[in-house]
């Protein structure tokens, strides 16, 4: 047997005359190349190629892409310190003013003996109101990003990572973290004045941002 022998399979080069051996498992002239996607037959949906999945979209709130003056697209700009201070005042007034009014009336109607039933009832009502409003404000901020004060001035607290509301648990943790804003002469509450992200210490701990949505 020689290399010119027609019975010798090693002596037949590809593309030589009739009787050419087709590629293994593929029609003649349709062997796929390596590393390149092949065109699917007509009427058959293309299959997803192998490789790394597409990267998820990057939030404008994450990775340093913080909205500046005017924001990016529909992303609201960060709320400056004045709006934050005003919303805080409104929240304190809504929560504390009725409480102090009820306690004041209870004290004014008390005869000092502790036997005044109306004064005791008003004191209990005031305490219940205070506790209820404390958790109601946290619930609203966790669910919508807005307390009563924030809704009044048009600001909203959102997660820094994806721009969504915090949820009740993280909103509660953020409220507790405000303790750190006040222990050092309230410097944490003033921090948004010069901070690039306009965050308090509580915002930095909980990775939250306060944005201005209108006006």
Mean pLDDT, residues 20-49: 53
Give the H or E element holding residue 209.
Answer: strand 208-212
Per cent of the chain over pLDDT 90 is 52
Q: Which pLDDT belongs to residue 142?
A: 97
SS3 of residue 93 by DSSP = helix
**Residue 158 in this model has a pLDDT that exceeds 70:** yes
**Residue 75 in this model has a pLDDT that exceeds 50:** yes
CB 199 within 8 A of CB 187: no
Q: Are strands 208-212 and 155-159 parallel, antiparallel or unpaired?
A: antiparallel
Mean pLDDT, residues 43-53: 56
């Amino acid at each position: 047997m020689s290399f010119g022998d027609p019975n010798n399979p090693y002596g037949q080069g590809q593309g030589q005359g009739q009787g050419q051996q087709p590629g293994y498992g593929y029609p003649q002239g349709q062997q796929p190349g390596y590393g390149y996607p092949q065109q699917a037959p007509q009427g058959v949906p293309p299959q997803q190629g192998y490789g790394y999945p597409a990267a998820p979209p990057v939030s404008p709130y994450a990775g340093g892409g913080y909205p500046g003056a005017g924001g990016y697209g529909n992303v609201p700009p960060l709320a400056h310190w004045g709006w934050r201070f005003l919303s805080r005042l409104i929240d304190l007034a809504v929560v504390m003013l009725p409480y102090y009014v009820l306690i004041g009336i209870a004290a004014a109607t008390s005869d000092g003996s502790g036997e005044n039933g109306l004064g005791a009832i008003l004191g209990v009502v005031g305490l219940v109101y205070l506790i209820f409003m404390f958790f109601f404000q946290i619930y609203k901020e966790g669910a919508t990003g807005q307390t009563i004060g924030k809704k009044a001035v048009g600001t909203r607290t959102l997660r820094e990572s994806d721009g969504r509301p915090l949820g009740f648990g993280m909103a509660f943790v953020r409220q507790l973290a405000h303790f750190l804003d006040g222990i050092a002469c309230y410097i944490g509450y003033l921090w948004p004045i010069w901070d690039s992200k306009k965050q308090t210490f509580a915002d930095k701990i909980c990775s939250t941002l306060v944005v201005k949505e209108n006006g």
